[in-house]
């Protein structure tokens, strides 16, 4: 176990450098003139303004020089300044990260719970109608375009049936909550505002369900395959022979073993959730990293785009590392084993 984790840790810096280099190379292919978005098209005719801007953003150096500057800056946590918000990209991202994390964590819970339930139903009723139905429901989640589904449920449940609040994290008319942790569900409780907490929770319902459903299929497929595999093994037959009830066999004997392989896909799920959150945040006006990325891409705000990409890659690396550690910790055979 330790070896697996250590090997991961060892390659992480190299992957990180790869990520950084890849984003730098990408930035070199930039077609649009970034100067336009810094100083505006009008000032392009003024050579002094152009020279000053170039110097400030390091655009007048050679490419290798720029690369060194770039890596040095990154190592200090300097992702540059956004052309659009005029703020350091890192500060922008830090401010928006909690919103995305809150959404992604809730969606992960939705996806894992629904995937587990459907996967168990699928395996228990292998190749019967319930199996097909469960798999179909899971498949729908991954085939429906998430931004379209978001749009439809938003219209359905806020306009046609006004049960839930509209987009955003809180009712705009409500009093503003001072961000402490940035997690709305926590912040509202910190100021003892029960109404605001309910409001924040209701705002989370639609985006979390839509985003969570998109990964249900990944989880349920894994749970189903893994459970079917375990159910064939001798110790299950043994448990049945000893007279354990079907529920007991499932919960105490099969599920515990089947869930360990299912853990391995959590990191993979994270990539899907990030992908989905970009689109879901755009639909639900969710002020997170995803909508920041969309705004940056639309405005061709390169430092911001690069920053989001690097942070996304870093987050993905960490998610995979955590998955490995969780896997190793959950499987007793991996504990203390050499590999």
Partner 1 sequence: MTVAASLKSKSIWPGITLRWSSATLIFALFVIISFIVIAVTIPLWSPYDPVGMAGRRLQPPSALHWCGTDALGRDVLTRALWGTRYSLPIAVFVLGVAVPVGVLLGTAAGFFGGIIDNAVMRLADVTLAFPPVLLAMAIAASLGPGLVNTAVALIIVWWPIYARLMRAQVLNVKKLDHVDAAVIAGAGRFRILFKHIMPLCWSPILVNTTMDVGLVILLASGLSFIGLGAQPPAPEWGQMVAEGASNFYSWWIALAPGMAIFLISISSNFLGDALRDVLDPQVKLPA
Q: How many Å apart are CA 317 and CA 13, to the nearest integer?
A: 10
Q: Which is nearer to partner 1, 53 or 274 (CB)?
A: 274
With a CB cutoff of 8 Å and minimum separation 6, the contacts of 1 are 328, 329, 334, 335, 336, 337
Hey, how many other C-beta atoms are within 10 angstroms of the C-beta on 335?
11
Q: How many Å apart are CA 281 and CA 190, to the nearest integer?
A: 25
Binding site for partner 1 (CB under 8 A): 14-15, 18-19, 21-23, 26-27, 29-32, 127-129, 132, 139-140, 142-149, 151-152, 154-155, 159, 218, 221-222, 224-225, 265, 268, 270-271, 274-275, 278-279, 282-283, 293-294, 296-298, 300, 302, 305-306, 308-309, 312-313, 315-317
State the nearest-atom distance from the C-beta of 282 to partner 1, in Å.
Answer: 6
End-to-end CA, the chain: 5
State the nearest-atom distance from the C-beta of 296 to partner 1, in Å.
Answer: 8
Q: Which is nearer to partner 1, 185 or 299 (CB)?
A: 299
What one-character DSSP code corresponds to residue 173? T
State the nearest-atom distance from the C-beta of 303 to partner 1, in Å.
Answer: 12
Q: Which is nearer to partner 1, 147 or 183 (CB)?
A: 147
Q: Which is nearer to partner 1, 177 or 211 (CB)?
A: 211
Residue 83: φ, ψ to 5°:
-60, -30
State the nearest-atom distance from the C-beta of 279 to partner 1, in Å.
Answer: 5
Q: Which is nearer to partner 1, 98 or 261 (CB)?
A: 261
Q: How many Å apart are CA 72 and CA 68, to the nearest integer?
A: 6
Q: How far apart, in Å, are the Cα atoms of 73 and each of 18, 76, 78, 322?
A: 16, 5, 5, 27
State the nearest-atom distance from the C-beta of 87 to partner 1, in Å.
Answer: 19
Q: Which is nearer to partner 1, 184 or 296 (CB)?
A: 296
Closest to 106 measured CA to CA, from 281, 259, 263: 281
Q: How many Å apart are CA 221 and CA 138, to the nearest integer?
A: 8
State the nearest-atom distance from the C-beta of 190 to partner 1, in Å.
Answer: 31
């Amino acid at each position: 176990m330790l070896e697996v984790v250590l090997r991961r840790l060892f390659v992480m810096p190299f992957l990180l450098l790869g990520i950084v280099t890849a984003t730098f190379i990408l930035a070199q292919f930039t077609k649009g003139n970034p100067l336009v978005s810094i100083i505006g098209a009008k000032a392009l005719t003024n050579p002094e303004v152009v020279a000053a801007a170039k110097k400030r953003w390091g655009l007048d150096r050679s490419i290798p020089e720029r690369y060194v500057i770039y890596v040095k800056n990154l190592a200090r946590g300097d992702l540059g300044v956004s052309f659009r918000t005029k703020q350091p990209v890192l500060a922008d991202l830090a401010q928006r990260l909690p919103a995305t994390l809150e959404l992604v964590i809730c969606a992960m819970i939705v996806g894992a719970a629904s995937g587990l339930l459907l996967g168990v139903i699928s395996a228990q009723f292998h190749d019967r109608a319930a199996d097909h139905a469960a798999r179909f429901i899971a498949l729908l989640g991954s085939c429906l375009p998430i931004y379209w589904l978001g749009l439809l449920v938003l219209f359905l449940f806020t306009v046609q049936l006004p049960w839930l609040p509209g987009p955003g994290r809180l009712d705009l008319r409500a009093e503003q909550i001072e961000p402490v942790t940035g997690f709305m569900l926590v912040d509202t409780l910190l100021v003892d505002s029960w109404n605001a907490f309910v409001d924040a929770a209701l705002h989370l319902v639609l985006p979390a369900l839509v985003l969570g459903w998109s990964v249900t299929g990944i989880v349920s497929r894994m749970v189903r395959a893994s459970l079917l595999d375990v159910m064939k093994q001798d110790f299950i037959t043994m448990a049945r022979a000893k007279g354990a009830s079907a529920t007991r066999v499932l919960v105490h004997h099969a599920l515990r073993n089947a869930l360990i392989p299912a853990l391995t896909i959590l990191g993979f799920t994270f990539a899907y959730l990030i992908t989905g959150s970009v689109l879901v945040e755009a639909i639900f006006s969710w002020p997170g990293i995803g909508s920041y990325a969309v705004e940056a891409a639309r405005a061709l705000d390169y430092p911001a785009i690069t920053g989001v990409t690097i942070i996304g890659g870093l987050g993905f690396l960490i998610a995979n590392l955590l998955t490995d550690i969780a896997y190793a910790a959950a499987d007793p055979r991996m504990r203390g084993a050499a590999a």
